[in-house]
Amino acid sequence: MWYNGLVQKTGEYHKMSEKASISRQQQKSRETREKIFQAAKRILQKKGYEELSIKNICEEAGVSNGSFYHHFKTKDDLLSYYIEDQPKIDPDLLELPDSVDGVKEGIIQVYMNYVKYCRELGVEFMSEYYDTKNQALNAAIRMERPYPIVTVQNYVEKAEQAGIVSLNVSIEEFTTDIRMIVIGNVFEWCVKHGEADFEGNMARSLGKYLDATLCRG
């Protein structure tokens, strides 16, 4: 009996040790990702997108090329990772409401969250991020990953299925229009070097579009 107990305790110890090891690895991985991103951010802010090569990022971060490719496929993948990894909105805010107005408020809240994150990254970073050469802005790529527009599309589709709202445009047109409205507001904020009413403009333009496209189910 004592032997069986010892074996059980030893097994539990090994499981705990493995979990601790995985946790340390995950922490180290997060730290490396952050180091790489901060290096890319410094290059973008000081030298612009043209100088944002993987070689320069690795030199700035003090990591190897292999380490970079372990975490990211390309430099655009690196940038898109940090746009998609913005602080997650409170799930409670996206619970299906019982009215059209509630759905509109939920969508606007998603983008208020995005505006906040853009401000945290800084106008210099966002100005360089919105470069036409940046494939992370490609709509086809963005729809494969958890960007705000994907969150909004899923949210609206669920609201439609529940009979809360109906769209007077296709879901494809809806997501394209929303994406263009958001890009326009970010661009305006960047062009004005952060002096535009980012929150107000985003909420107003989205609100008008949602009023025109979302109806009672």
Residues 135 and 159 in one domain: yes
Residues 44 and 113 in one domain: no
Domain membership of residue 13 (yes or no) is yes
Percent of the chain past pLDDT 90, that is, above it, reads 43
Summarised one tens digit per residue, pLDDT across range 66-108 is 999 999 888 877 877 766 655 555 444 567 888 999 999 999 9
> Which neighbouring-strand residues pair with 215?
166
Main-chain phi, psi angles of 163, to 5 degrees: 75, 20
Summarised one tens digit per residue, pLDDT across range 128-171 is 777 777 666 665 555 445 467 778 888 899 999 999 999 999 99
- Average pLDDT score over residue span 56-63: 95
E strands present in the chain: 165-167, 214-216
Domain-ending residue, one of 72, 100, 132 = 72
Domain-ending residue, one of 46, 72, 98 = 72
Domain range for 40: 2-72
Cα 62 from chain centre: 26
- Average pLDDT score over residue span 21-39: 84
Higher pLDDT, 21 or 123: 123
Residues 41 and 90 in one domain: no
Structure tokens belonging to residue 81? 């990772």
Number of domains in the chain: 2
Residues 11 and 65 in one domain: yes
Predicted model pTM? 0.69
pLDDT at position 217 over 90: no
Domain membership of residue 91 (yes or no) is yes
